Amino acid sequence: MFVAPEGESAGSQSFHLSAKNVTVRFGEVTALDHFTANVPRGTVGLLGPNGAGKSTFIKASLGLLELDDGSIRVGSLDSRHQSLAIRDEVGYMPEHDCLLQSMNAVELVAYLAQISGMGRRDSMQRSHEVLDFVGIDEERYRLIKSYSTGMKQKVKLAQAIVHDPSLLFLDEPTSGMDPQGREEMLDLVRRIGSSEKTVIVSSHILQEVERVCDYVVIISSGKLIRAGETLALVAGEEGVHSLTIRGDSKAIADYVGALGELCEVLRKTGEGDRQTTLLLRGCGDGRAIFRLAAEGGVQVRSYRPETLDLEEVFLRAFKRGESNGN
Ligand SMILES: Nc1ncnc2c1ncn2[C@@H]1O[C@H](COP(=O)(O)OP(=O)(O)O)[C@@H](O)[C@H]1O
Ligand SMILES: [Mg+2]
């Protein structure tokens, strides 16, 4: 059985994959442009818009593409000279359809296991185990050409983990799936990532990456935009808090006026007549805020350090890039 223990924290600080100054060109197009990134163990999101270079980076790491410059190391292996050894250690779920349509899932996954060196009996047993894990039931005996996109995605995942690799590349694993299928796929990714494995998941969907990845590498136009622990990336600026209050509009207006004397009001967003969220800088632990609220008949719903979503991180990174003249 493919065992992915729940609840273990993924990720030590050692890097599982390192790219240094990697450039890959397709004729006139520079798909990776001096791309440098260190990928730690754990569940790692490779995030960027379509055409950013995500698939190119994955294929280059597997040694499937030639580098025009730079180097990629997977564990202790070099992608240029040891691509066969890398493929033993690595699982790959490609973005596009890669399944032989005229086989059933058990045969196909067992066949791919045999190609990676497993004996016939073991490969059949293992095929059943990984198909159980991804949730392909009796349909496993039907020809793949009769499968829905969601089922094909699951078989693609099954073949990627059949040889129990320590590093897994999943290229847009939820692509083409309906909302329920996406949930199931993200749950599988989370379960695999909570075992000892490193899972690199490419996606252009911020919310997905934010939900399943402990570390994020943001790429755009073949360049590294930002990389870091998800929690650190979404942490807001030091000393900036978000305050949500309720009260009648006059009380809120007076309160916001009084707050302005106390600290800096960076942003004010109304959420209906009676509720308002403020972004504040320099209000400290909030004691004065609570006191003022009590005096002014305003109810404090929450007061907490600012957190960004990845979209905001993305936008800020781009803004910074522009102001640096990149
Ligand atoms: N085989 C190829 N031939 C020519 N251009 C390619 C090829 N593969 C990728 N590209 C180009 O390289 C850039 C990066 O592509 P890709 O890595 O597929 O991006 P992503 O996976 O982030 O959507 C795009 O401009 C794409 O059109
Ligand atoms: Mg792609």
Domains (ranges, CATH) in the chain? 15-234 (3.40.50.300), 240-305 (3.30.70.600)
50 CB within 6 A, ligand 1 = yes
* Residue 313 near residue 218 (C-beta atoms within 8 A): yes
Q: How many residues does the chain have?
A: 326
Q: For 214-245, give the secondary structure using H, E and C.
A: CEEEEEECCEEEEEEEHHHHHECCCCEEEEEE
Interatomic CA distance for residues 198 and 188, integer angstroms: 13
Interatomic CA distance for residues 45 and 226, integer angstroms: 12
Give the distance (Å) from ligand 1 centre to CA of residue 28: 11
The pLDDT of 244-268, averaged and rounded, is 91
193 CB within 6 A, ligand 1 = no
Share above pLDDT 90 across residues of the chain, in percent, rounded to a whole number: 67
E strands present in the chain: 15-26, 29-40, 43-47, 69-74, 77-78, 90-93, 167-171, 198-203, 215-220, 223-229, 240-246, 264-270, 275-281, 299-305
Percent helix, percent strand, percent coil in the chain, to nearest 5: 40, 30, 30
Q: Which two tokens stand for residue 1?
A: 């059985």
Q: Which two tokens stand for residue 118?
A: 């497993």
The pLDDT of 20-25, averaged and rounded, is 98
Ligand 1 atom with the smallest distance to the CA of 59 is 17
Residue 163: pLDDT above 60?
yes
Interatomic CA distance for residues 116 and 106, integer angstroms: 16
- Paired with 44 in beta bridges are 200, 215
53 CB within 6 A, ligand 1 = yes
At residue 40, φ and ψ (nearest 5 deg) are: -80, 175
Residue 106: pLDDT above 60?
yes
Which of 25, 28, 29 best tests ligand 1's pocket when mutated (most atoms within 8 Å of CB)? 29
Residue 171: pLDDT above 90?
yes
56 CB within 6 A, ligand 1 = yes
Mention every residue, 6+ apart, whose C-beta is less than 8 A from residue 113: 122, 123, 126, 127, 162, 163
pLDDT averaged over the chain? 89
Q: What is the pLDDT of residues 257-283, one digit of tens each?
A: 999 988 999 988 886 678 999 999 998
> Which pLDDT belongs to residue 51?
95
Ligand 1 atom with the smallest distance to the CA of 32 is 14
Ligand nearest to the CA of 22: 1
Helix (H) or strand (E) holding 148: none
Residues with CB under 5 A from ligand 2 (ion): 54-55, 95
Interatomic CA distance for residues 243 and 276, integer angstroms: 8
* Residue 201 near residue 217 (C-beta atoms within 8 A): no
pTM above 0.85, yes or no: no
